[in-house]
Structure 1
Amino acid sequence: MTDDSDIPIRVRPEIAALPAYKQGRQAGADAFKLSSNENPFDPLPGVLEAVQASATAVNRYPDASAGRLRQRLAERYGLDVDAVHIGAGSVSILAQLVQATSGPGDEVIYAWRSFEAYPWLAVVAGASAVQVPLTDDYRHDLDAMAAAITDRTRVVIVCSPNNPTGPIVTQDEFDAFAQKVPSNVLIVLDEAYSEFVTDPAAVDGTRILSARRHPNVVVLRTFSKAFGLAGLRVGYALGHARILDAARTTSIPLSVTAPAEVAALASLDAEEELLERVRAIAERRDRVASGLRDAGWDVPEAQGNFVWLPAHDETLAVAQAFDDAGLIVRPFAGDGIRISIGEEESVEKVLAIAAQAVRDLPSGHRGARAGVQS
């Protein structure tokens, strides 16, 4: 959508011009879906049984606050229950926070490229989206982000590990950054992939909350990725109760379903078994990243459940090569390709296609390591 000339009602021009969110492509029966950062393992039987049992009461509304899950997470993180907020995925909570804080004339700052929902969350709220370029190694430039703050800034979003490029923000970097941000500006630390992180230097939002030095920080996490509940849509926020009250005020009532809450509780009961799967995915990720570098790709640090190929102008052509081989990846035209870590059977195929693709890049392409093209 680029204009409002064919819309039969009045729509805000900036909304008419805004492209809708596009999820990763679905895959056919003979393809590997590596486009949506999903957990490739099937749900645990105990989680499925809990969901099936809860489905017998679908004629009743769910608990609007997901109270049992809030209480469980509050106990887990040593917080008051009002310092926990549950939403239909962490992105829905981010939308609530942006709408609660930002409107016309305000600014929302985030790194770019980062999660593709960030720009339209700002625009939908009526605010201006301020994009701060990543560093040359695809990391957040926190100094530049701090320098971009003005008296119009209402929210700064930090994504660690960064989706789609992969690198973390370190704890030291975040602490120094938080000191520079005015105390009345909301800092959202988006940690959707935190369970996959193996770098001990990475920022940990729960450590920030326990220190109680920055009440303007809200931490977002989700059950969609590591816990494998992407189809049920349940995420959570941790932070100052009054900030989360503002998010609760802007939320769509009853958006977290009873099966989603039950599945999240069952997943916490089965956490150790689920984290064994996470460790397997992280090990697989490291093998894929290493194999891609050996093939000649300049792959940045990978700490989520995905890797980044900096294909730049060749992005769509390289993505087509994967597609032709039955590997559905996520291209971001002009920037690169995010490849989710999927089934073990996909690894060898991913590395083979990537090795051929890097050899086909134009000479001197900045996504290739020096001396590998032929």
Structure 2
Amino acid sequence: MSGDESHVPTPEHPGRPRDEVHALPSYRPGRDAAQAERDHGITGAVKLASNEMPEGPIGAVVDAVTAAVTGVNRYADHRAGTVREALATRLGLGAESVTVGNGSSGVLQQIFQTYVARGDRVLFPWRSFEVYPIYTRLAGGEAVTVPLDARLHVDVDGLIAALTPDTRLVVVATPNNPTGTATSTADLARLAEAAGMGTIVVVDEAYREFDDRGDDAVRDLVGTYPNVVVTRTLSKAQGLAGLRIGYGIGHPAVIGDIDKVALPFAVNALAQAAALAALDHPEEIAERVARVVEERIRVESALRESGWDLADHRGNFIWLPTGADTGRVALDLERAGVVVRSFGDEGIRVTIGTRAENDRFLTALAGVSPTG
């Protein structure tokens, strides 16, 4: 079908967008606290909807960004070369194995642009990160999904069984967003082996710092499987969500291809300065991550004591399996001043915030009837 057939231009909607764009759902971010306050006539709402770090940036990041502001009349380094080198040194790799982009979502979009053409199959578990089907449809590809298992873990055997010669991309988030479960690198190695060199296997590790199992996809996979690309971000653990900087790690030839579709100057000067400062202070970042993990464990324990059957979470969030009551429970929580992220009739994702914010969530949830 052509754009001419799918959309008739009108004064209210001029132009002929591509079919893939015209039918595409927009990405839906988590609502913010100010929106909830306006909608419900409340004050003091807290946002636990977007998996952000509850603490502001570390002092070194603030200083670096403040210093970099005076130079924003100049373009930043298009390749973010200094950041690449800093990441490569930390990872024990050459800089040619690292790319830097506008958040890991930006790096993921580059990967889809590089490898997916009309009719190509893209394989991923579901439910998972919502940009995967969006990026697939935008490229004209065919999304092939494999359900999570009964405990909300990725079904690696199911993914392997779904591989075909037309599969160009496989994407697995670990920990998985929004369910929080993690996949072992041993299982991911089986997947990469089965996929073969004609299929790129993307391991999306946006939340890896919160996963203390010891698995490391870069260490365990990249050097052995040239078809594996790992994506990571500085938005979560490093607290740079508002600056948008992420990175990808893989075989130099693959990274070179991904770089070809990068938006010019996509990573701004402030983001690059902040990234370097954060990378220079790993101990301070690790302390903040430890506080979040400690709170996650505390919240999980409280919920299990209240009767919730929870998955094994490894990110900075928890998943409540609210089923058909999802919309109502999320709305009741929001009316109580706690903004969370709902997913259809499946469940609710709740970001781990400060201790006070988490206590407020637990109190609000206790006041919500589980059955309506």
User: Normalized against structure 1, the TM-score is what?
Assistant: 0.92
Answer yes or no: is the 8 Å Cα contact 2:189–2:221 preserved in 1: no
Within a 5 Å distance, the mapping from 1:315-326 to structure 2 comes to 315-326=326-337
Q: Which of 49, 55, 76 is the matching residue for 2:90?
A: 76
Answer yes or no: is the 8 Å Cα contact 1:292–1:355 preserved in 2: no
Indicate yes or no: 2:158 matched with 1:144: yes
Paired residue secondary structure (2:160): helix
Residue-by-residue CA offset, 1:228-263 (whole Å, 9 max, x unaligned): 000000000110111111111111111000110110
Paired residue secondary structure (1:308): strand
Aligned-pair distance for 1:161?
0.3
Identity level (%): 43
Q: What amino acid does structure 2 have at the position aligned with 1:235?
A: G
Answer yes or no: is the 8 Å Cα contact 2:121–2:167 preserved in 1: yes
Residue-by-residue CA offset, 1:14-49 (whole Å, 9 max, x unaligned): 321211111110113611100000001011122111
Paired residue secondary structure (2:149): coil
Q: Which of 236, 247, 251 is the matching residue for 1:225?
A: 236
Q: What amino acid does structure 1 have at the position aligned with 2:164?
A: T
Q: What amino acid does structure 1 have at the position aligned with 2:218?
A: T
What residue in structure 2 maps to residue 25 of structure 1? 31
Answer yes or no: is the 8 Å Cα contact 1:295–1:354 preserved in 2: no
Runs of 4+ in structure 1 deviating by more than 6 angstroms, as ranges, are none
Q: Which of 35, 46, 54 is the matching residue for 1:40?
A: 54
Answer yes or no: is the 8 Å Cα contact 1:50–1:262 preserved in 2: yes
Answer yes or no: is the 8 Å Cα contact 1:224–1:234 preserved in 2: yes
What residue in structure 1 maps to residue 70 of structure 2? 56
* C-alpha separation in 2, matches of 1:228 and 1:80: 26
What residue in structure 2 maps to residue 238 of structure 1? 249
Aligned-pair distance for 1:206?
1.7
Q: What amino acid does structure 2 have at the position aligned with 1:9?
A: G
Q: Which of 317, 321, 336 is the matching residue for 1:306?
A: 317
Answer yes or no: is the 8 Å Cα contact 1:208–1:214 preserved in 2: no
* C-alpha separation in 1, matches of 2:256 and 2:269: 21
What residue in structure 1 maps to residue 220 of structure 2? 208
Stretch deviating more after TM superposition (5-14 or 112-121)? 5-14
Q: Which of 159, 166, 169 is the matching residue for 1:155?
A: 169
Residue-by-residue CA offset, 1:160-185 (whole Å, 9 max, x unaligned): 00000011001222222222222220
What residue in structure 1 maps to residue 290 of structure 2? 279
Aligned-pair distance for 1:213?
1.7
Paired residue secondary structure (2:125): strand
Within a 5 Å distance, the mapping from 1:115-264 to structure 2 comes to 115-200=129-214, 203-209=215-221, 212-264=223-275
Answer yes or no: is the 8 Å Cα contact 2:160–2:194 preserved in 1: yes
* C-alpha separation in 1, matches of 2:32 and 2:358: 19
Answer yes or no: is the 8 Å Cα contact 1:83–1:240 preserved in 2: yes
Aligned-pair distance for 1:209?
4.3
Q: What amino acid does structure 1 have at the position aligned with 2:326?
A: T
What residue in structure 1 maps to residue 38 of structure 2? none
Q: What amino acid does structure 1 have at the position aligned with 2:252?
A: A
User: Normalized against structure 2, the TM-score is what?
Assistant: 0.93
* C-alpha separation in 1, matches of 2:21 and 2:154: 28
* C-alpha separation in 1, matches of 2:218 and 2:18: 39
For structure 1, list consecutive stretches of 5 or more residues without a partner in the other structure: 363-374
Aligned-pair distance for 1:356?
3.7
What residue in structure 1 maps to residue 113 of structure 2? 99
Instruction: Output the aligned Cα RMSD.
Output: 1.4
Answer yes or no: is the 8 Å Cα contact 2:152–2:311 preserved in 1: yes
Q: Which of 125, 130, 136 is the matching residue for 1:111?
A: 125
For structure 2, list consecutive stretches of 5 or more residues without a partner in the other structure: 1-5, 35-42
Answer yes or no: is the 8 Å Cα contact 1:31–1:326 preserved in 2: yes
Indicate yes or no: 2:371 matched with 1:361: yes
Residue-by-residue CA offset, 1:31-87 (whole Å, 9 max, x unaligned): 110000000101112211110110101110000010111111111111111100000
Aligned-pair distance for 1:97?
0.8
What residue in structure 2 maps to residue 371 of structure 1? none
Q: Which of 303, 317, 321 is the matching residue for 1:292?
A: 303
Q: Which of 342, 345, 358 is the matching residue for 1:334?
A: 345
